[in-house]
Chains A and B, each alone.
Chain A
Amino acid sequence: SARQLCFAWGPAEVLVCETRFGRRGGCPSGAGSGSGRARLPGALTGCVAGTGEGAPSSSRLFVVRRDQDIYIQTLRKLFNESHGIFVGLQRSEAEPAGTSRKAQLVQVSKNYRSVIRACMEDMHQAAISARDPALQSQYSTQVSILSAMELIWNLCEILFIEAAAAGPLLLRLLDWVRLHVCDVDSMVREVLSSENPSKHELFWNVVDIFVLQGRMDEARHLLSKEASANPTSLNMYKILDDLMKKMPVPSLGNTQTLTEMELKWQHWHEECQRYLQDGTFASNSHMESICKILLGDEDAILEKKELMTTWYHFLVTRLLYSHPTVKPMELRFYAQACMDVFLGGESSPEPLDTILMAAFEFEMHQVIKECSIALSNWWFVAHLTDLLDHCKLLQSHNLYFGSNMREFLLLEYASGLFSHHSLWQLGVDYFDHCPEYGRVYLELHIERIPLSTEQKALKVLRICEQRQMHAQVRSICKIMAMKALRNNRLGSALSWSIRAKDAAFATLISDRFLKDYCERGCFSDLDLIDNLGPSMLLSDRLTFLGKYREFHRLYGEKRFPEAARLLLMLMTAHIAPCSFWMTLLTDALPLLEQKEVIFSAEQTYELMRCLEDLTAAKSDKQKLQDDAETMKVEMLRLALARNLARVIVEEGTLEGS
Chain B
Amino acid sequence: MFVARSIAADHRDLIHDVSFDFHGRRMATCSSDQSVKVWDKSENGDWHCTASWKTHSGSVWRVTWAHPEFGQVLASCSFDRTAAVWEEIVGESNDKLRGQSHWVKRTTLVDSRTSVTDVKFAPKHMGLMLATCSADGVVRIYEAPDVMNLSQWSLQHEISCKLSCSCISWNPSSSRAHSPMIAVGSDDNSPNILAKVQIYEYNENTRKYAKAEALMTVTDPVHDIAFAPNLGRSFHILAVATKDVRIFTLKPLRKELSSSGGLTKFEIHIVAQFDNHNSQVWRVSWNITGTVLASSGDDGCVRLWKANYMDNWKCTGILKGNGSPVNGGSQQGVFNASLGSANASLQNSLNGSSASRYFFPPLDSPRAGSRWSSHAQLLPPPPLIEHSCDADTANLQYPHPRRRCVSRPLNLLPENEGV
Q: Do A and B associate with each other?
A: yes
* A-contact 0/1 string along B277-312, CB 8 Å cutoff: 000101101111100001011111110000011100
B403 at the interface (CB under 8 A from A): yes
Q: Is the CB of B15 within 8 A of A310?
A: no
Q: Is the CB of A369 within 8 A of B398?
A: no
Q: Is the CB of A145 within 8 A of B385?
A: yes
Given contacts A9-B294, A13-B24, A376-B382, contact A27 B58 (CB under 8 A): yes
Q: Is the CB of A373 within 8 A of B25?
A: no
User: Which parts of A1-57 form the interface with B (CB within 8 Å)?
Assistant: 1-28, 31, 34-35, 37, 40, 43-44, 48, 50-51, 55-57
* A-contact 0/1 string along B14-34, CB 8 Å cutoff: 111111101111010100111
**Chain B min CB distance to A157 (Å):** 17
Q: Is the CB of A373 within 8 A of B398?
A: no
- In this complex, the member of B22, B384, B387 whose beta carbon has the largest number of chain A beta carbons within 10 angstroms is B384
Q: What CA separation (Å) do A486 and B242 show in the bound complex?
A: 42
Q: Is the CB of A26 within 8 A of B58?
A: yes
**Chain B min CB distance to A637 (Å):** 37
Q: Is the CB of A415 within 8 A of B289?
A: yes
Residue from B29, B231, B321, B380 in contact with A440 in the complex, judged by beta carbons closer than 8 Å:
B231
Q: Is the CB of B32 within 8 A of A48?
A: yes
Q: What CA separation (Å) do A448 and B22 show in the bound complex?
A: 6
User: Which parts of A64-81 form the interface with B (CB within 8 Å)?
Assistant: 64-69, 71-72
Q: Is the CB of A6 within 8 A of B359?
A: no
Interface size range of chain B in the complex: 35 or more
**Chain B min CB distance to A472 (Å):** 12
Residue from B6, B223, B319, B386 in contact with A144 in the complex, judged by beta carbons closer than 8 Å:
B386
Q: What CA separation (Å) do A51 and B11 show in the bound complex?
A: 9
Which residue on chain B has the smallest CB distance to residue A120?
A: B398
Q: Is the CB of B402 within 8 A of A142?
A: no
Q: Is the CB of A17 within 8 A of B79?
A: no
Chain B residues positioned under 8 Å from A17 (CB to CB)? 9, 15, 18, 29
Chain B residues positioned under 8 Å from A376 (CB to CB)? 342-343, 359, 381-382, 384
Q: What CA separation (Å) do A624 and B399 show in the bound complex?
A: 92
Given contacts A48-B32, A66-B344, A69-B381, contact A437 B47 (CB under 8 A): no
- In this complex, the member of B7, B14, B15, B22 whose beta carbon has the largest number of chain A beta carbons within 10 angstroms is B14
B81 at the interface (CB under 8 A from A): yes
Given contacts A34-B57, A415-B289, contact A124 B396 (CB under 8 A): yes
Given contacts A19-B14, A58-B331, A65-B4, contact A486 B90 (CB under 8 A): yes
Q: Is the CB of A64 within 8 A of B24?
A: no
User: Which parts of A381-401 form the interface with B (CB within 8 Å)?
Assistant: 381, 401
Q: Is the CB of B396 within 8 A of A121?
A: yes
Q: Is the CB of B360 within 8 A of A508?
A: no
B115 at the interface (CB under 8 A from A): yes
Chain A residues positioned under 8 Å from B334 (CB to CB)? 18, 56, 58, 60
Which candidate, A180-188, A243-251, A259-267, A594-602, is the interface stretch facing chain B?
A180-188
B335 at the interface (CB under 8 A from A): yes
* B-contact 0/1 string along A139-181, CB 8 Å cutoff: 1111111011101000000000000000000000000000011
* B-contact 0/1 string along A103-128, CB 8 Å cutoff: 00000000000000000110010011
B232 at the interface (CB under 8 A from A): yes
A228 at the interface (CB under 8 A from B): no
Q: What CA separation (Å) do A40 and B298 show in the bound complex?
A: 28
User: Which parts of B347-393 form the interface with A (CB within 8 Å)?
Assistant: 347, 350-351, 353, 357-362, 380-388, 391-393
Q: What CA separation (Å) do A453 and B399 show in the bound complex?
A: 45
**Chain B min CB distance to A622 (Å):** 24
Q: Is the CB of A140 within 8 A of B387?
A: yes
Chain B residues positioned under 8 Å from A401 (CB to CB)? 309-310
Q: What CA separation (Å) do A475 and B3 show in the bound complex?
A: 32
* B-contact 0/1 string along A247-284, CB 8 Å cutoff: 00000000000000000000000000000000000000
Q: What CA separation (Å) do A449 and B350 show in the bound complex?
A: 31
Q: Is the CB of A35 within 8 A of B23?
A: no
B249 at the interface (CB under 8 A from A): no
Given contacts A127-B392, A444-B288, A486-B72, contact A64 B350 (CB under 8 A): no
B135 at the interface (CB under 8 A from A): yes
Q: Is the CB of A19 within 8 A of B16?
A: yes
Q: Is the CB of A4 within 8 A of B331?
A: no
**Chain A min CB distance to B95 (Å):** 14
Q: Is the CB of B309 within 8 A of A21?
A: no
Chain B residues positioned under 8 Å from A121 (CB to CB)? 396
B2 at the interface (CB under 8 A from A): yes
Given contacts A2-B298, A4-B298, A128-B392, contact A61 B29 (CB under 8 A): yes
Residue from B68, B280, B286, B398 in contact with A21 in the complex, judged by beta carbons closer than 8 Å:
B280
Q: Is the CB of A63 within 8 A of B5?
A: yes
Q: Is the CB of B79 within 8 A of A10?
A: no
Q: Is the CB of A50 within 8 A of B12?
A: yes
Q: Is the CB of A352 within 8 A of B402?
A: yes
Q: Is the CB of A445 within 8 A of B288?
A: yes
**Chain A min CB distance to B124 (Å):** 8
Q: What CA separation (Å) do A22 and B243 show in the bound complex?
A: 12
A482 at the interface (CB under 8 A from B): yes
Chain A residues positioned under 8 Å from B383 (CB to CB)? 141, 144-145
Chain B residues positioned under 8 Å from A63 (CB to CB)? 3-7, 47
Q: What CA separation (Å) do A591 and B322 show in the bound complex?
A: 81
B269 at the interface (CB under 8 A from A): no
**Chain A min CB distance to B405 (Å):** 10
B229 at the interface (CB under 8 A from A): yes
Residue from A37, A68, A148 in contact with B385 in the complex, judged by beta carbons closer than 8 Å:
A148
B395 at the interface (CB under 8 A from A): yes
Residue from A9, A185, A350, A447 in contact with B285 in the complex, judged by beta carbons closer than 8 Å:
A9
B419 at the interface (CB under 8 A from A): yes
Which residue on chain B has the smallest CB distance to residue A308?
A: B402
Chain A residues positioned under 8 Å from B393 (CB to CB)? 186
Q: Is the CB of A309 within 8 A of B403?
A: yes
Q: Is the CB of B288 within 8 A of A448?
A: yes
Q: Is the CB of A478 within 8 A of B294?
A: no
A523 at the interface (CB under 8 A from B): no
B61 at the interface (CB under 8 A from A): yes
Q: Is the CB of B115 within 8 A of A12?
A: no
Q: Is the CB of B18 within 8 A of A31?
A: no
Q: What CA separation (Å) do A488 and B346 show in the bound complex?
A: 49
Q: What CA separation (Å) do A136 and B70 show in the bound complex?
A: 48
* A-contact 0/1 string along B122-137, CB 8 Å cutoff: 0010000000000110
Chain A residues positioned under 8 Å from B29 (CB to CB)? 17, 61
Chain A residues positioned under 8 Å from B17 (CB to CB)? 6, 8
A90 at the interface (CB under 8 A from B): no
Q: What CA separation (Å) do A357 and B357 show in the bound complex?
A: 19
B414 at the interface (CB under 8 A from A): yes
A88 at the interface (CB under 8 A from B): no
Chain A residues positioned under 8 Å from B14 (CB to CB)? 19-20, 23, 48, 55-56, 59
Q: Is the CB of B6 within 8 A of A6?
A: no
A351 at the interface (CB under 8 A from B): yes
Chain B residues positioned under 8 Å from A141 (CB to CB)? 380-381, 383, 387
Chain B residues positioned under 8 Å from A142 (CB to CB)? 381
Chain A residues positioned under 8 Å from B335 (CB to CB)? 3, 18, 60, 62
Chain A residues positioned under 8 Å from B6 (CB to CB)? 60-63
Which residue on chain B has the smallest CB distance to residue A129?
A: B392
Q: What CA separation (Å) do A445 and B79 show in the bound complex?
A: 35
Chain A residues positioned under 8 Å from B4 (CB to CB)? 13, 63-65, 71
Interface pairs (25), CB distance under 8 Å = A3-B322, A3-B323, A6-B15, A8-B17, A10-B24, A15-B18, A18-B335, A19-B16, A21-B298, A22-B282, A40-B113, A59-B9, A63-B5, A63-B47, A64-B4, A64-B337, A134-B414, A136-B391, A147-B401, A375-B345, A375-B384, A381-B346, A452-B25, A475-B69, A479-B68
**Besides A4-B298, A60-B9, A375-B343, 14 other CB < 8 A contacts?**
A4-B296, A7-B296, A20-B14, A50-B32, A62-B419, A63-B3, A64-B337, A66-B344, A145-B385, A147-B399, A148-B385, A309-B403, A352-B360, A373-B347
Pick the 7 closest A-B CB pairs, nearest first. Answer: A26-B59, A10-B24, A372-B346, A374-B360, A26-B79, A2-B323, A10-B20
